[in-house]
């Protein structure tokens, strides 16, 4: 293999003058798009690390609720807050509608609604087809 010994700056500047070459501080691969890290090390960025930690927490909460039911639901947790946002933005919703819009499993949505109903955050009624519908409890 023929090694081209011209510095990396040469190639990167030819491709994109506005974005001079930056080398990842963790592995010294080329970093692109004005980022200080390569794609593999993006997760080292504080913002990305925070996002990933949140997603991990979200998944843990989901597994706990799937195992333990509504008693594992945290009223100040991510699932309840997303369901509240849905109901605030779109009004009454069936369980199926909440499952579709939040992408949570039906088990998780039902467990959250149970706990939220006990805490008087939502009311549950049945629509004409007998499906449970959640609405914010305004009383």
- Looking at beta carbons only, is 10 or 26 nearer to Zn ion? 26
Asked whether the CA dihedral 91, 122, 113, 82 is positive or negative, the reply is: positive
- Looking at beta carbons only, is 31 or 108 nearer to Zn ion? 31
CB of 25 to Zn ion, least distance (A): 8
Positions touching Zn ion (CB under 5 A) are 24, 26-27, 29, 38, 41
- Token pair, residue 100, equals 């579709």
Residue nearest to Zn ion (CB): 24
CB of 30 to Zn ion, least distance (A): 9
- Token pair, residue 18, equals 């506005």
DSSP string, 102-138: H---HHHHHHHHHHHHHTTSEEEEE-TTS-EEEEE--
- Looking at beta carbons only, is 34 or 96 nearer to Zn ion? 34
CB of 52 to Zn ion, least distance (A): 16
- C-alpha span between 29 and 32 (Å, rounded): 10
CB of 39 to Zn ion, least distance (A): 8
């Amino acid at each position: 293999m023929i090694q081209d010994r011209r510095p990396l700056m040469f190639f990167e500047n030819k491709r994109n003058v506005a974005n001079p070459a930056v080398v990842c501080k963790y592995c010294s691969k080329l970093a692109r798009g004005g980022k200080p890290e390569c794609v593999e090390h993006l997760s080292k960025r504080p913002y990305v690390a925070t996002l990933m930690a949140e997603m991990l927490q979200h998944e843990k909460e989901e597994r706990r609720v799937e195992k333990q039911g509504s008693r594992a639901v945290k009223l100040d947790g991510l699932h309840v807050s997303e369901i509240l946002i849905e109901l605030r933005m779109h009004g009454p919703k069936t369980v199926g509608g909440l499952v579709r819009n939040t992408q949570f499993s039906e088990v998780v949505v039902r467990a959250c609604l149970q706990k939220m109903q006990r805490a008087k955050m939502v009311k549950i009624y049945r629509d004409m087809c007998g499906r449970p519908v959640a609405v914010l409890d305004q009383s």
